[in-house]
Structure formats: C-alpha cells, structure tokens
Structure 1
C-alpha cells in the first residue's frame, strides 16, 4: 500500500494528487502545483509557459489557462478508490506514512497528521480536536434544525404566508367586484327588459286601436270589391245570352245593382299618424339618458292623431289659434261678442248671425282643444314630465 501511495504522490508537493493534469509531455502533476510554476513569456502566443519538473520540456499554457489541460481521469479514479480503502481500514496519513491522523483541519474538514500541519499543504490551517469539532457541529446542527422546524423564524414561510394572505385579499376583493358587476348588470338588464316590455306593450295596444279603426272599413270595402267581381262575372254571362227578352231582363237587374254599388259611400278617413314616434323617442330621450337613470325614463302613452294635427306647418286650428292670441283681434272679438249678445238679450230672440257665429266659435273651440292637447302631449312626453303633472296643465274636458 505504501508503494501505491508513492505512485499516487505528486512529484512537486509530495502529496496525493489533487486535480491531476496531464502535460503534453505525458507527465502528471497537481493543478495547484502547476499553477505555481507558471511564468510570463513573450515567445508563445498565450504569453505564459512552464517547464515540466520531470523532463524540463517547455510547455505553452493555453489561453484558457490550466483548466484547458486534460484531466487524468484514470489516475483520479484510482486515487479515490485507494482513499476509500485506506480511510476504512487505516488511521495513518497517506502523504506521510506511519503518521497518525489525529488532528481535524477546520479549513479542509478532514483529519491530518502533525507533518501535514508543519511541512505539508495544511500548514497554517485552523485545527481542532475531532471530538470537540464533532460536538460543536452537533450543537450547530441542532440549532439549525430547530430554526428550520420553527416556521416563525423562517423567512421563506413568513414570506409565503404573507403572499398567500395578500393573494387571498385580492381575490376576495375581485370576487366582490365580480358579484357587484353581475348584480348591477342583472338589475340593469331587468330594468331594460321592463322598459322594453312596456314600450312593446304600448305599441301592441296602439296596433289594436289601428285594427279597430281600419278593419271594419277594410271589411266593408272588401264586400264592395266582391260585389264588383260578381257583377263582372254576371255581365260576362249575360253577354252570352241569346234570347233578347232574357238578355234585357238580366241586364236591367245588373244595371240596378251597378247603380246601387256606385252609390255606396266609400270610406275616406283622415290619414293618421302615431305620436310620439318610438324612433324619435329613442334618439332624443333614451340615447341621451345616463345609464343609471334608466328607471326614471317615462313610458309615453301612444295615441293616434290626424296628419294635419301632427304637421309642423301652421294650418287649420294652429293658424287660427295663433291669430286668436293677437291682442288686437282679442279686443275686437270681445267687443263684437258683447254687442251681439246684448242685442240678443234685449230683443228676446237670437238673431241668425249670432247663431252662426256661435256655431263657428264652437268649431274653433273644438279645433283649438285638439291642437292644444296635441301640443301638451308632445311637451309632456318629450320632456319626460310625470303624467299627473301633465293632467294638471289642462282642465278635465281636454281628456
């Protein structure tokens, strides 16, 4: 074993090889020992070189330094195997035969002999007794284990708990916001559905009114159409009649029916318009309403009115009403009415001009009522005023 130890010993430090590197000349030395032999050089591109201690051959050190030299893996494996066998059965120093390993080197954490501390590579290293070093290490190990076991002293555990708490708080706030969003839009959706249903119901109700107004008229006109078709068919059949007497009789009957048909009064109702129009209402009111004020939007009461009452031109009752508001006309009108009325009372009879004027004024009153009602309805619905307030604007006879 001593012979094998000599073969495994570096020729420079006389100790077991540490990181054995092979030079180009095939000699092997410790990497640390070769490092001490390096010298600057101007002859080689790398700028550094060394001489082999055995054959004195000059070796250029690569640019990557000594780590670029090949490692003697075979020798390193033999050394490790030898160290395992030597450490299991012997207590003597491998570098210094027959020297007991009785001192613990704190720096290299291994047992060394006295010569390793005086002339060997462990010279100047801090040392201690093996049992003392073991006892101190056991105490340190116990303290370390206690610190690792106590989560309150673990920075990692404290940081993890803090992060978990912060994450839970953020997720809780996020869940609360998610529930608020769902509740808000559910309520908004319910409000919109209610408004939508109310508007569609108003349109359906108005559709029923339109059908109620036009369906009987259309039914009557359809009967007249059928009468015309029947007369055309009968007339075509009469034209084929060969008997003069029967032809005259049948034609006479058809002519009577035809004259009766053309005497029928065809319906000619005034064109109606819907007021207010939903398209205008949605653009002027709904599109300009803040989303949170949807519940406050008034659902208008739809109604049908004559086209002349809905036009923007000043015709009919609107023009008359504008004229009636003139102060000079009002004064003249009041004077005329008072004079005629005084004459009627004095004579005990109502003259024909006053009666005609009364009928004319009644017609003006009725047209004016319709005109005023249309204007009030428009103002109420376009300004979204409460219906009770609208009912207070005009007297009861306007409803």
Structure 2
C-alpha cells in the first residue's frame, strides 16, 4: 500500500492526485497544481510555453482545460481511497473480518453484511451517509436533553452530600483532637509518675550508700592498717641489730593488738528489697489507663509515708539511748566514774558476745522477714490469678 501510494502521489503537492491531467511528455499532475504554474507564467506574456516540473520539457500554454484527463490514474486513485477507507473501518465482533458498512435503522446500530441476512433479517437498512445525517440530528436533540437531565436534583444532592461530608469530617477531627489531648495528658501523667518513682529509687540508692559506705570504709581502713603492719614486719624481719629488732617488734605488736581489738562491723541489711519487688512491670499490666497516676511510689509503701529502712530506725533509737546514757554519766560521782573506767574493759568483754549474738539475730530475722514477705506476695498473686480465671 505504501509503494502504491507513492505512485499515486503528485510530485508538486505531494498528495494523492486530484483531477489528474497528463502532459504531452506523459507526466501527470493535479489540475490545481498546473493552474498554479500557469498563473506564475502569466506575467511573462512573451513565453507561450511552460516546462514540465519533472523532465523540464516545454509544453505550449493553451490552458489546463485543453490538457487530457488521465482517467486511468483517476480511477486508480478512487479505488485506492475506497480500499484505504475499508481498511480503517471497524469490523464486526460476531463475524471476524467483516466491515461494519450497514446501518440498521430498526436497532440503530452498525452491522455487517452477514448480520443483515441473519440476526437483522427483515429490518430497515440505510446507507451510512443517510444514517450519519439522521443520527447527527438525533444527537443534537439527545445532547440537549441529557445536558439538562436532572441537573437541579443532582446539584441539590451533591450539595447535601458535601454538607454532610463537612459535618462528618468536623466530628472526626473533634474526636481526633480529644484523643490527642487525652494521650498528651496520659503521656504527661506517665512522665510525672516515672520521674516520681525513679526519684524514690535514687533516694533508696542514697540510703543504701549511706548505710554501707561507712562500714565499707571502716573495713578498708582495717585492711590498710593490716597492710602497714605487714610492711613493718617485712622491713625488720631480717634485721640483725637486736635493739632495732626489739623496737620494731614492739611497734608491730602494738599495731597487731590494735587491729585485733578493732571490732568488725555487723552485716548491714537495708530493707529496700521488698519495695523494689512491688515494681514488677508484670503487676502493672492490669492497671487501667486512667489509674496510672494512682500507681504507688516506693515511699508510699512504708507506714510512716517514707521508705526509711529499719536499720536507720535502730540507729535512731540507739542514738537516743546513748544521749540518755551520757547525760546520766555527767551526774555520776567521781568514784563511780573511776570504777566504770577501771572495769569498762571487763564490761566490754562481757557484753561483746551478747552484742554479736544480737546482731546475728537481727540479720536472721531480717532474712526470715524477707522470705515471709516474698511468700505472701506469691500467695497474693496466685489468689488474684485464680479469681481472675474464675470471673473469666
């Protein structure tokens, strides 16, 4: 088709031939193209001829009407146009390859030749050009009807939907703001409770350090004294001078005696372990969001509103006793004081075992109390789980 179209194209306008005229040299051109050439030569009246655009052979200028019509070429161009129109025409879906070249006026649809003899047998048919004119008029009427079809109702319904949509979005946005404010407040409450609980733990850390650090420092001092005594012993161990050896031996015995007489501090047990156990996160899983601010801090578990360890209460009582004892000593007579100072060592050696036993008993009682408290919490958790399972 493309090669054929090249042969059917005018060399001047490069379009398909339209009313082709043949020159004496056998070259064909469109009539309008030749008229344009002759019109350009009219200003040159002294030239009675014009040249062929293809071969440049001169031809007498007698007008385009005197030129012979190329009927064969015009027929070929017309057939080519019909074939090209047929190739671009839609084909029937029911009969593959058949062009839709018939219009059924009964069903108002395009059909092929097979459809006209089968499904549309007995219907009224018309040419495509006539159908085009009829449907064009029908289209304008249908277009105007459809353009105004229920437009007012649709606009009213659309406006109603837009209003409802706006109200719904406002309600959703309002609820979203409430949720945002609620969680902001909840986060603020959680941060406050977190800071409160961590502050209590920092307080307990400070209390533990205050309870243990003095005793640790005492033991460290004892170890340092022992190290110095051993250093002295190593320094005169190989001494051959009797005087120097005896002097160093005397100093070594003094330090050894002082170290041996220094009482070891009783084991200190700061009772904060039972408070820490209360803060197991598993116990917080059942807390409602609104009750987060009701979570108990460590200082809220003690009866007096603070988590002061029992060891500090013992020290407080002991301090009061020492104050009363010293006050009473001030009013004693000199002979009584002399008697006490003379026998204080004996009293100390007599009370030393009792004090050690008392300290040991306190440690044992503290451990027993911790175990009992742990068992009580385990029983409480088991009962709570049992009741929860029963309710479920």
Alignment TM-score, normalising by the size of structure 1: 0.40
TM superposition score normalised by structure 2: 0.40
